[in-house]
Amino acid sequence: MLDIRQFRENPDHIRERLATRGEEFAAKVDDVVRLDSERREANTAVEELKAKRNAASKEIGALMGQKKLDEAEAKKAEVRDIGDQISELDAKAGQVDTKLRDILLRLPNLPHADVPVGATEEDNTEISQWGEKPAFDFEPKPHTEICESLGLVDFARGAKLSGSGFLLYSGWGARLERALIQYLLDMHVHEHGYTEVSPPFMVGYDCMIGVGQFPKFEDQAYMVQEGLDEESRGKLYLIPTAEAPVANIHREEILKNEELPKYYCAYSPCFRAEAGAAGVGTRGMIRVHQFDKVELIKVVEPEGSYDELQKMLGNAEKILQSLNLHYRILQLCTADMSFGSATTYDIEVWAPGQGDYLEVSSCSNCEDYQSRRMNLRYKDADGKNRHPHILNGSGTALARLFVALIETYQQPDGSIAIPEPLQSYLRTDRIPASE
Give the footprint of RNA on this chain (CB under 7 A): 4, 40, 43-44, 46-48, 50-51, 53-58, 60-61, 64, 76, 79-80, 83, 254, 377, 385
| In the complex, least distance from residue 83 CB atom to RNA, rounded to whole angstroms | 4
Pick the closer one to RNA by CB: 122 or 229.
Answer: 229
User: What whole-number distance in Å separates Cα of residue 263 and Cα of residue 305?
Assistant: 12
Pick the closer one to RNA by CB: 117 or 254.
Answer: 254
Please report how many Cα atoms fall inside a 13 Å half-sphere around the Cα of residue 120, on the Cβ side.
1
Pick the closer one to RNA by CB: 250 or 311.
Answer: 250
Pick the closer one to RNA by CB: 76 or 328.
Answer: 76
From the number of C-beta atoms within 10 Å of its C-beta (0-12, 13-18, 19+), residue 24 rates as: exposed
| In the complex, least distance from residue 102 CB atom to RNA, rounded to whole angstroms | 16
User: Which amino acid is present at 140?
Assistant: P
Pick the closer one to RNA by CB: 50 or 283.
Answer: 50
Rg (CA), the chain: 27
| In the complex, least distance from residue 48 CB atom to RNA, rounded to whole angstroms | 6
The count of other CB atoms within 10 Å of the CB of residue 254 is: 12
CA-to-CA separations, 238 to 70, 80, 229, 337, in angstroms, rounded: 62, 49, 17, 23
Pick the closer one to RNA by CB: 57 or 95.
Answer: 57
Pick the closer one to RNA by CB: 3 or 145.
Answer: 3
- Burial annotation 365-384 (CB, 10 A radius, 16+ → b, else e): bbbbbbbbbbebbbbbeeee
Instruction: Find out whether 397 and 291 touch, Cβ atoms under 8 Å.
Output: yes
Return the closest-CA partner of residue 204 out of 254, 247, 244: 244
Return the closest-CA partner of residue 183 out of 317, 329, 294: 294
User: What whole-number distance in Å separates Cα of residue 292 and Cα of residue 169?
Assistant: 12
CA-to-CA separations, 115 to 52, 313, 360, 365, in angstroms, rounded: 51, 16, 21, 12
Please report how many Cα atoms fall inside a 13 Å half-sphere around the Cα of residue 75, on the Cβ side.
18
| In the complex, least distance from residue 144 CB atom to RNA, rounded to whole angstroms | 34
Please report how many Cα atoms fall inside a 13 Å half-sphere around the Cα of residue 116, on the Cβ side.
16
Pick the closer one to RNA by CB: 346 or 367.
Answer: 367
| In the complex, least distance from residue 297 CB atom to RNA, rounded to whole angstroms | 23
| In the complex, least distance from residue 249 CB atom to RNA, rounded to whole angstroms | 15
| In the complex, least distance from residue 57 CB atom to RNA, rounded to whole angstroms | 4
Pick the closer one to RNA by CB: 82 or 417.
Answer: 82
Pick the closer one to RNA by CB: 268 or 341.
Answer: 268
| In the complex, least distance from residue 347 CB atom to RNA, rounded to whole angstroms | 36
| In the complex, least distance from residue 61 CB atom to RNA, rounded to whole angstroms | 3
User: What whole-number distance in Å separates Cα of residue 429 and Cα of residue 408?
Assistant: 15
In 322-355 the beta strands, taken as DSSP E runs, fall at 327-331, 343-351
- Who contacts 16 (Cβ-Cβ below 8 Å, separation ≥6)? 26
DSSP 187: I
| In the complex, least distance from residue 78 CB atom to RNA, rounded to whole angstroms | 8
| In the complex, least distance from residue 95 CB atom to RNA, rounded to whole angstroms | 12
N- to C-terminal Cα distance for the chain? Answer: 54
Q: How many residues are present in the chain?
A: 435
CA-to-CA separations, 64 to 74, 80, 419, in angstroms, rounded: 12, 17, 85
Pick the closer one to RNA by CB: 216 or 233.
Answer: 233
